[in-house]
């Protein structure tokens, strides 16, 4: 094991990005992710990288497009309102089949909302902006996982030529934990498609999302969705916690999964058989394991910091085979272990008929 | 036999989709000639914008990136910063550059981004069928100003070169036109200089080219040239609005 250092979540993401070979960062200040931008401002110029504070999130994501189109690893980060502005660019990245790594350290919304943690951009992250496309969405629950998923995010983006988004929240961004920065080997990908100048040696490359011929545009979408299918088959990540004998299954990601673990331990002490499936990839969503769990447990609880967003995917994945309860707070409020416990007790009442 | 006139290598051998008499084609040729003459086609990355010129990615023979409406200067910033040896240019219309993309334009200039911007001002939104542009003239009739541009309610045209001349980061700003041979030649000189500046690392260069849109102006090609001369040129005077290095040399 390598030595551990104490790091703030936002800074750990930045350091992991550098270790993944990212030398281009474009951002715009917004709480609660600003430490990430500041970290890059300090580090990148000293390593011949490019740090640029853009005039807006729209500009930042389009600068990301420029670097990615030119074949280099690149990232941007923001928090909820800023991600809304980046949405146009996310759609273009998808339409152009460009890799990019984007971080959303969520805060409460809608509108300007607040600056306290939230998970209410779940729909936005997993559904996205205009057009048929997908984003790989990675949901860490610790500073250590912010490091590993950042490295993974860059890799997946290059591997599948798509955006991967790290979906964190204000708590994870601000919290300090000891982390190992041993990130292992970094794979380098050839990018023969990139706009690097023809050098008068090859036909020109065009990075483009426009087609005025419907059949052609359809075929581009179909090809892209074939790639997405491979992602769904190979890249699903989740953690199972005390699921072996569980009768109640909590589904939760990020910081609320940690809160849920506390509640699960407490409930287990009371003899209630509860476990958790924690999606680490929100897209691709761990549908299969949830569907299988639905044959074993009597109820699910979606624990989330939003008004019932994750729960829709749980219901879809489990095909409504079992009731799914919602345990949630929003607007910047984190559910307490007691909130989760109350839901566990309620779920425990279900099931005489099962 | 001596070839005295040929298609520039940097211009693809394809049929351009522009309307008959539209001067976009002339501007394409000038840009391509400059890429040829400066020997930079192999290093060039062109950024196509959203407007009638969106398909330029099919017309220039260099690597091309198609940007979202108004975002070309930001995409260009990324492409340039990814590898400063790239020669990066944008080709944008007035709606793209001076309405939806104003922030990207002004800030690329303010940063002194070492890119070349070809700004085609035809005082109208061509591609979407002739709506009012930020550069439409007072009184100009368009689809969305059917009673003529009323400055009392929709304000005045944006004069891009004049505006950017106040931005310290901008290096070179010139307004040209392609309405006659003399002006076409002059436009070529300006475009070439805007690329040469980038090669020399001098920073942000923008050439505003007054161009025609016979289709949406509802004029024949020759009358459109005359309209440009009689109406656009007085409102948008040709000339150099900023030349940082020339000023410093004085
Ligand atoms: C975000 C967005 N808004 C609107 C459009 C529709 N649109 C396409 S081209 C265009 C106007 C372009 O006009 P201009 O930049 O003046 O170029 P021209 O067509 O005159 O050469 C508009 C509004 C779009 N593609 N994207
Ligand atoms: S609509 Fe106007 S600007 Fe567009 S190609 Fe036709 S003449 Fe040119």
What chain B holds in terms of domains, given with CATH numbers, is 24-249 (3.40.50.970)
Instruction: Count the alpha carbons within 13 Å of B144 in the hemisphere toward its beta carbon.
Output: 14
Report residue B1's pLDDT band, with 50, 70 and 90 as the boundaries.
confident
What pLDDT was estimated at residue A1? 54
Closest C-alpha among A288, A308, A296 to residue A249: A296
For chain B positions 31-60, those within 8 Å of chain A (CB to CB) are 41-45, 47-48, 54, 57-58, 60
Instruction: Indicate the Cα dihedral angle A295, A300, A305, A310, nearest 10°.
Output: 30
Task: Inform me whether the pLDDT recorded for B163 exceeds 60.
Answer: yes
Token pair belonging to A66 = 């420029």
Nearest to A322 by CA among A258, A250, A252, A237: A250
Task: State whether residue B144 sits within 8 Å of chain A by CB.
Answer: no
pLDDT in tens, chain A (354 residues): 578 999 999 999 999 999 999 999 999 999 999 999 999 999 999 999 999 999 999 999 999 999 999 999 999 999 999 999 999 999 999 999 999 999 999 999 999 999 999 999 999 999 999 999 999 999 999 999 999 999 999 999 999 999 999 999 999 999 999 999 999 999 999 999 999 999 999 999 999 999 999 999 999 999 999 999 999 999 999 999 999 999 999 999 999 999 999 999 999 999 999 999 999 999 999 999 999 999 999 999 999 999 999 999 999 999 999 999 999 999 999 999 999 999 999 999 997 544
Domains of chain A: 4-234 (3.40.50.970), 239-278+285-353 (3.40.50.920)
Question: Does the beta carbon of B22 lie inside 6 Å of ligand 2?
Answer: yes
Check if B125 has its Cβ closer than 6 Å to any atom of ligand 2: no
Using the structure block, give the residue that is written with the tokens 């909302």.
A113
Report how far ligand 1's centroid is from the alpha carbon of B210 (Å). Answer: 17
Rounded to the nearest angstrom, the distance between the alpha carbon of B18 and the centre of ligand 2 is: 6
Cβ–Cβ gap A208/B66 under 8 Å: yes
Q: pLDDT grade, residue B249 (50/70/90)? A: confident
Q: Is B84 on the interface with A (CB under 8 A)?
A: no
Q: At what angle do helices A57-69 and B72-82 cross, to 10 degrees?
A: 50
Average pLDDT over residues B48-74: 98
Residues A283, A35: Cα–Cα separation, whole Å? 26
Is the pLDDT at B11 greater than 90, yes or no? Answer: yes
In this prediction, residue A354 carries a pLDDT of: 44
Return the pLDDT at B250.
75
Q: Whose CA is nearest to atom 1 of ligand 2?
A: B126
The 10 Å Cβ neighbour count of residue B113 is 25
Q: Do A208 and B76 touch (CB under 8 A)?
A: no
In short, whether B101's Cβ falls inside 6 Å of ligand 1 is no
Please tell me the predicted confidence (pLDDT) of residue A352.
Answer: 54
Sign of CA dihedral B92, B93, B95, B97: positive
Instruction: Tell if the CB–CB gap between B41 and A55 is shorter than 8 Å.
Output: no
Nearest chain B residue to A55 by CA distance is: B107
CA of A224 to the centre of ligand 1 (A): 27
User: What pLDDT shows up at residue A44?
Assistant: 98
Is this complex scored with an ipTM above 0.90? yes
Q: Whose CA is nearest to atom 2 of ligand 1?
A: B69
Contact criterion met (CB < 8 Å) for A26 and B78 = yes
Is any ligand 2 atom within 6 A of the Cβ of residue B99?
A: no
Question: Using a 6 Å cutoff on CB, does residue B52 contact ligand 2?
Answer: yes
Across all residues in chain B, what is the average pLDDT?
Answer: 97
Residue B45: its H or E element: strand B44-48
Atom of ligand 2 nearest to the CA of B21: 7
């Amino acid at each position: 094991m390598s030595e551990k250092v104490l790091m703030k979540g936002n800074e750990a993401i930045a350091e992991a990005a550098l270790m993944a070979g990212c030398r281009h960062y474009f951002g715009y200040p917004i709480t609660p992710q600003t430490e990430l931008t500041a970290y890059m401002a300090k580090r990148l110029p000293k390593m011949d990288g490019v740090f640029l504070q853009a005039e807006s999130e729209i500009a930042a994501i389009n600068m990301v497009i420029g670097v990615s189109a030119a074949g280099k690893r690149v990232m941007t980060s923001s928090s909820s309102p800023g991600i809304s502005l980046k949405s146009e660019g996310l759609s273009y990245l998808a339409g152009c089949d460009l890799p990019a790594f984007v971080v959303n350290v969520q805060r409460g919304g809608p509108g300007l909302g607040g600056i306290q943690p939230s998970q209410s951009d779940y729909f936005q992250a997993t559904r996205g902006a205009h057009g048929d496309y997908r984003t790989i969405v990675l949901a860490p629950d610790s500073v250590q996982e912010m490091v590993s998923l950042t490295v993974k995010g860059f890799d997946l983006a290059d591997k599948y030529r798509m955006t991967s988004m790290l979906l964190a929240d204000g708590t994870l961004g601000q919290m300090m934990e000891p982390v190992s920065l041993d990130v292992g080997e970094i794979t380098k990908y050839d990018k023969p498609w990139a706009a690097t100048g023809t050098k008068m040696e090859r036909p020109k490359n065009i990075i483009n999302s426009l087609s005025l011929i419907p059949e052609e545009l359809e075929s581009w979408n179909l090809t892209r969705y074939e790639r997405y299918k491979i992602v769904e088959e190979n890249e699903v990540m989740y953690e199972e916690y005390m699921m072996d004998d569980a009768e109640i299954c909590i589904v939760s990601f990020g910081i609320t999964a940690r809160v849920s673990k506390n509640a699960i331990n407490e409930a287990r002490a009371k003899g209630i058989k509860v476990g958790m499936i924690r999606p680490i990839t929100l897209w691709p969503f761990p549908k299969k394991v949830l569907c299988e769990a639905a044959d074993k447990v009597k109820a699910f609880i979606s624990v989330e910091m939003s008004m019932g967003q994750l729960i829709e995917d749980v219901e879809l994945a489990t095909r409504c085979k079992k009731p799914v309860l919602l345990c949630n707070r929003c607007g910047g409020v984190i559910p307490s272990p007691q909130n989760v416990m109350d839901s566990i007790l309620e779920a425990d009442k279900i099931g005489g008929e099962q | 036999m001596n070839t005295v006139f040929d298609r520039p290598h940097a211009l693809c051998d394809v049929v351009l989709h522009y309307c008959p008499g539209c001067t976009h084609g002339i501007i394409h040729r000038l840009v391509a000639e400059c890429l040829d003459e400066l020997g930079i086609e192999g290093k060039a990355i062109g950024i196509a914008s959203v407007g009638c010129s969106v398909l330029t990615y099919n017309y220039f023979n260099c690597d091309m990136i198609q940007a979202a409406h108004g975002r070309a200067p930001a995409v260009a910033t990324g492409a340039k910063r990814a590898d400063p040896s790239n020669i990066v240019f944008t080709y944008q219309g007035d709606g793209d550059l001076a309405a939806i993309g104003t922030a990207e334009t002004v800030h690329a200039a303010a940063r002194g981004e070492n890119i070349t911007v070809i700004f085609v001002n035809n005082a109208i939104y061509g591609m979407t069928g002739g709506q009012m542009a930020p550069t439409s003239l007072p009184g100009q009739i368009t689809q969305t100003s059917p009673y003529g541009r009323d400055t009392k309610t929709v304000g005045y045209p944006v004069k891009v070169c004049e505006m950017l001349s106040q931005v310290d980061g901008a290096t070179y700003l010139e307004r040209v036109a392609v309405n006659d041979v003399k002006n076409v030649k002059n436009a070529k000189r300006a475009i070439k200089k805007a690329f040469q500046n980038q090669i020399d690392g001098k920073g942000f260069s923008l050439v505003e080219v007054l161009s025609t849109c016979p289709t949406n102006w509802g004029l024949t090609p020759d009358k459109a040239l005359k309209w440009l001369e009689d109406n656009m040129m007085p409102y948008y005077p040709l000339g150099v609005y900023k030349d940082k290095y020339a000023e410093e040399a004085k």
